[in-house]
Amino acid sequence: MSEERVFARTLVTSALPYANGLIHLGHIAGAYLPADVFVRYKRMRGEKILFIGGSDEYGVPITLTALKEGISPKDVIDRYHSANAESFAQLGISYDLYGRTSWDLHIDTTQQFFKNLHAGGYIHEEDMELWYSVQSDRFLPDRYVKGVCPRCGYADANADECESCGAQYPPHDLREPRANIPGDSSTPVLRNSRHWFLDLPQFAERIKSWLDEHPEWRANVKGIAYGWVGDLRTRCITRDTDWGVPIPLDDPGAASKRIYVWFDAPIGYVTNTRQWGIDVHGDADAWKPWWKDQDTRLIHFMGKDNVPFHTVIFPAVLLGQGDFILPDQVPGSEYLNVFNRQTGQTEKGSKSKGNMISVRWILEQFDPDVIRYYLCAIAPESKDSSFDWDDLAARYNGELCDVVGNFVHRSLTMAVKNFEDQVPQPGVLDAEDQAMLDAIPAQLDLIAEALDGFRFRQGLERFIDLGRKANVYFDGKQPWVTRKTDLERTATTLYVCCQVVHALAYAMTPFLPGGAMRLAAILGVTLGKGGPEGGADVWEEGKRLIPAGTPLNPPQVLFPKLDKDRIAELAEIHRNGGAM
């Protein structure tokens, strides 16, 4: 339904990465690059669009890391927040604001959300039996206790969920429990603790009918969402910890507990929008239209593991506020695996296997456009895909360099050399010239159609296709031959080629902002900025013809080829666990 609907503005979020480790390529392919391609494209269209992200900074894994390293949780989040923010910036993930859930403003937002739900009768209290370490004199939430999964027998299961089989269970079902704190692996005992629960079943009907309004969503996302909404239970939203947002209730039992991280993390989108409004407009209310106006289109990008939170749980939290909008699109991706050429096996990316590739490490090896090109080309949109070093070199060298880069370079080089650094003056256009010119707007429309439909791989393929068509045209016209025999014919050919080059600069902008900027500088065009305030439709300008006589700056190689030996070296480092 969103296809036909016109919105006043669009708010895009991408899942908040957890500030307990470096972001890796799996995160980028699933949540961040698709969001960035979409936002860059919409900015070109002149739509009012705001792109919000940030770090997720509370919760038990962070306090565990701090305990293990003998530092404070604040030290942990500061380290990973700055490292990840820097990686995003270098990769060109163009947030309008990259915030933090440890901000004081976030306490205020989260507590407001909690209080509204509490006042609405959506939060209730229950006594729970939880594992307690007598030795450490504390409750053991989540991974502070390990034991044997009651369902699959996995030996390293957490207090109430198993990372191996995905089972969720009451903590007292965990078998052979042991404390999992540095210096304490004692056998815990069960003790009662009072906690606060979100009454999700109250929202089931409303969530279900909202999902029914979105048949256009990806099948994988709908499958997960309907699975969850059909089996909704109350969920505990507090924990026995001191690292989190305090519970805003005048209740002595609440003082030693905090709001659980899965509850506060997506509220971080709202906090960060508030902060953006204050930073940019100096207006504490500037965020409100982005979250409360029915004419705002809200879009959440994320990986598969975050789909239930964004299609069921967070929407319930939003509904419970009374005046917030719900997302119009939730593009969730499948997983990016790793292909191991030595074993011939596809592996899941995992810390213990050491087979993940951090964004920080790979940015030390390549230009951001290399990474963006390959990850978009293999984006796990509807099914899992695999990162493979040989495939990276083959796709980048064979498609981007050989098809687009090569066409651009030979066209511009010939024009500059033979026609005084200018777009040449054409003679009479023949049918082939005209067909090539006609293909430009048609192909830009096809790319736009794919991007509007959240099919980023297809959008990228259609961009390369424009390069393919141009190469066929160029090879057919043989300007390197006609140059010696018919200068007017050569001028016409290169005039047409310059038009394609111009269009390619626009078409590559969402995917390859670095290459696009280099090309725009050669052509002397600006590709526009766009943003929350909107602007002109720059995408349409890519369809216009640039006049003969337009000056051309000296061409440079847009996308240098990757060296095969270097790729083999990097693959070896990766195999040995050195890419994180």
Question: Does 169 engage in binding with Zn ion (CB under 5 A)?
Answer: no
| Cβ 183 to Zn ion shortest distance, Å | 27
Interacting residue with Zn ion among 167, 236, 280, 394 (CB under 5 A): 167
Output phi, psi for 338, to 5 deg. Answer: -125, 125
Q: List all residues 6 or more positions away from 474 whose beta carbon is below 8 Å from its beta carbon.
A: 407, 410, 411, 493, 497
Of 173 and 537, which CB lies nearer to Zn ion in the complex structure? 173
Write the CA distances from 548 to 419, 431, 498, integer angstroms.
Answer: 10, 19, 9
Looking at the chain, the number of H-run helices and the number of E-run strands are: 22, 16
| Cβ 163 to Zn ion shortest distance, Å | 8
| Cβ 348 to Zn ion shortest distance, Å | 16
- Separation of alpha carbons 457 and 111, rounded Å: 40
Segment lying near Zn ion (by CB under 5 A), choices 53-61, 157-165, 189-197, 530-538: 157-165
Question: Does 165 engage in binding with Zn ion (CB under 5 A)?
Answer: yes
Of 115 and 151, which CB lies nearer to Zn ion in the complex structure? 151
Of 165 and 284, which CB lies nearer to Zn ion in the complex structure? 165
Closest CA to 505 of 493, 517, 497, 496: 517
Of 167 and 278, which CB lies nearer to Zn ion in the complex structure? 167
Pairing mode, strands 345-347 and 336-340: antiparallel
Token code pair at residue 549: 């006589």
| Cβ 337 to Zn ion shortest distance, Å | 21
Interacting residue with Zn ion among 8, 89, 134, 152 (CB under 5 A): 152
Segment lying near Zn ion (by CB under 5 A), choices 141-149, 222-230, 393-401, 486-494: 141-149
| Cβ 533 to Zn ion shortest distance, Å | 50
Segment lying near Zn ion (by CB under 5 A), choices 152-160, 238-246, 302-310, 388-396: 152-160
Residue 346's H or E segment, with its range, is strand 345-347
Write the CA distances from 317 to 74, 120, 346, integer angstroms.
Answer: 27, 11, 38
Segment lying near Zn ion (by CB under 5 A), choices 116-124, 151-159, 250-258, 400-408: 151-159
Segment lying near Zn ion (by CB under 5 A), choices 12-20, 79-87, 147-155, 218-226: 147-155
Of 116 and 164, which CB lies nearer to Zn ion in the complex structure? 164
Of 148 and 548, which CB lies nearer to Zn ion in the complex structure? 148
Of 162 and 496, which CB lies nearer to Zn ion in the complex structure? 162
Closest CA to 268 of 101, 98, 18, 50: 101
Segment lying near Zn ion (by CB under 5 A), choices 131-139, 146-154, 310-318, 338-346: 146-154
Of 166 and 398, which CB lies nearer to Zn ion in the complex structure? 166
Q: What is the DSSP letter of 423?
A: P
Q: How many residues sit in the footprint of Zn ion (CB under 5 A)? A: 8
| Cβ 157 to Zn ion shortest distance, Å | 6
- Please, are residues 344 and 388 in contact by the beta-carbon 8 Å criterion? no
Residue where the block lists tokens 């192909």:
443
Question: Does 162 engage in binding with Zn ion (CB under 5 A)?
Answer: yes
The dihedral region occupied by 299, where left means phi > 0, alpha psi between -120 and 50, and beta the remainder, is beta
Of 168 and 256, which CB lies nearer to Zn ion in the complex structure? 168
**How would you label 140-171 residue by residue, b for 16+ Cβ within 10 Å and e otherwise?**
bbbbbbbbbbbeeebeebbbbbbeeeebeeeb
Of 173 and 461, which CB lies nearer to Zn ion in the complex structure? 173
Q: What is the DSSP letter of 161?
A: B
Residue where the block lists tokens 């504490």:
284
Of 209 and 352, which CB lies nearer to Zn ion in the complex structure? 352
Q: List all residues 6 or more positions away from 498 whose beta carbon is below 8 Å from its beta carbon.
A: 411, 412, 415, 423, 424, 546, 550, 552
Question: Does 149 engage in binding with Zn ion (CB under 5 A)?
Answer: yes
Q: List all residues 6 or more positions away from 477 whose beta carbon is below 8 Å from its beta carbon.
A: 432, 489, 493
Of 152 and 190, which CB lies nearer to Zn ion in the complex structure? 152
- Separation of alpha carbons 471 and 149, rounded Å: 58
- Separation of alpha carbons 477 and 499, rounded Å: 15
Question: Does 173 engage in binding with Zn ion (CB under 5 A)?
Answer: no
Closest CA to 173 of 150, 143, 157, 145: 150
Segment lying near Zn ion (by CB under 5 A), choices 144-152, 235-243, 451-459, 535-543: 144-152
- Please, are residues 24 and 64 in contact by the beta-carbon 8 Å criterion? no
Question: Does 307 engage in binding with Zn ion (CB under 5 A)?
Answer: no
Interacting residue with Zn ion among 154, 169, 339, 366 (CB under 5 A): 154
Interacting residue with Zn ion among 2, 90, 136, 164 (CB under 5 A): 164
| Cβ 168 to Zn ion shortest distance, Å | 10
| Cβ 147 to Zn ion shortest distance, Å | 11
Segment lying near Zn ion (by CB under 5 A), choices 99-107, 143-151, 504-512, 517-525: 143-151
| Cβ 141 to Zn ion shortest distance, Å | 18
- Helices 33-44 and 431-452, axial angle in degrees (round to 10): 120
The terminus-to-terminus CA distance of the chain in angstroms comes to 42
Of 155 and 255, which CB lies nearer to Zn ion in the complex structure? 155
| Cβ 175 to Zn ion shortest distance, Å | 11
| Cβ 21 to Zn ion shortest distance, Å | 23
Question: Does 255 engage in binding with Zn ion (CB under 5 A)?
Answer: no
Segment lying near Zn ion (by CB under 5 A), choices 154-162, 203-211, 362-370, 499-507: 154-162
| Cβ 161 to Zn ion shortest distance, Å | 8
SS3 content of the chain, % helix, strand, coil (to 5): 50, 15, 35
Q: What is the DSSP letter of 196?
A: E
DSSP 520-551: HHHHT------BTT----HHHHTTSPPPTT-B
Residue ranges that bind Zn ion, judged by CB under 5 A: 149, 151-152, 154, 162, 164-165, 167
